[in-house]
A = this chain, B = another copy of it.
Amino acid sequence: MAAKYVSINNQLFLEEDAKIGVSDLSMHRGYGIFDYLKVIDNRPIFIEDHFNRFYNSAKEMFLDVVMDRVQLRKAIEALVEKNGIATSGIKLLLTGGYSEDGYRMGKPNLVILQYPLNMQDENKLDTGMNLVTYDHQRQLPYIKTIDYLMAVRLHPFMKEKNADDVLYHNTGVITECPRANFFVVYDKEIITPKNNILKGITRSKVLKFKISGYTITEEDFSIDDLSGIKEAFITSTTQYAYPVTAIDGRMIGDGKAGPVTRQVRELLFKLTYAEK
């Protein structure tokens, strides 16, 4: 549930009054982009990274953000202040706008929503997540569009497989989870897929870490390569690094969060809380 107030085109509305006309191109053609960032104790985290990606997604989809970065930051701050919630997730949603014929782009609508941060239960950290693999390549993977048609459709499949999330592969080559990047840990290497993925901001932070005894690289690998891994984890804005302890029902390592995953998670916390 979004917080009490929602910003639409830089105006604040009560959540129950926050509505968009039925000619918007997001409803008719699934056309829009978004980004999602954390605010901790009123400090937006990695906001320049998120803005870089948001404005780039908009440009790639030929959508005008209307507000510049200074205005957008002020709009976020105004929403956070009005809601009086210091720690949250902020979603920036830019739609294809009101379309005369339900097909061509209009002037985009910019919606900003504040959500409680839904982190995985810290107590379950030790047992981690189960993933189930699925052959699907997202269209325009490098752009953060609202296209999650397959991901949402797979919810019943995930439930049936008793999985916490899906791990996509492209005809055998591992790519990403619908809302997170994926890392594996070998004896001396930490590897994350390189191509056909959304390059997450948390992922980019991890790629710059120094972990004693390990190299950290971007490189594609296949489902078959999973047999030799010691640990696996996902990264995302909400989950930081979170352990993956089983894939397609096969246990990874001893089925518990490993030391590298824990170390990456700690480093991400430190980096996040060092952010001003």
Q: Which residues of A contact B (CB under 8 A)?
A: 1-2, 6, 8, 15-16, 18-32, 34, 61-62, 91, 93, 95-96, 100-105, 111, 113, 115, 118, 136, 139-140, 145-153, 155-156, 179
Contact = CB atoms under 8 A, between A and B. Distances in A.
Contacts of A136: 139
A63 to B, nearest CB: 10
B27 A145 contact: no
Contacts of A111: 22, 27
Contacts of A95: 27
Contacts of A151: 29
A104 B28 contact: no
A25 B152 contact: yes
Contacts of A61: 153
Nearest to A21: B19
24 contacts: A1-B23, A1-B100, A2-B22, A2-B23, A18-B21, A18-B22, A19-B20, A19-B22, A20-B20, A20-B22, A29-B148, A29-B151, A30-B32, A30-B149, A31-B149, A31-B152, A62-B153, A96-B152, A101-B115, A102-B115, A103-B179, A104-B155, A105-B152, A140-B149
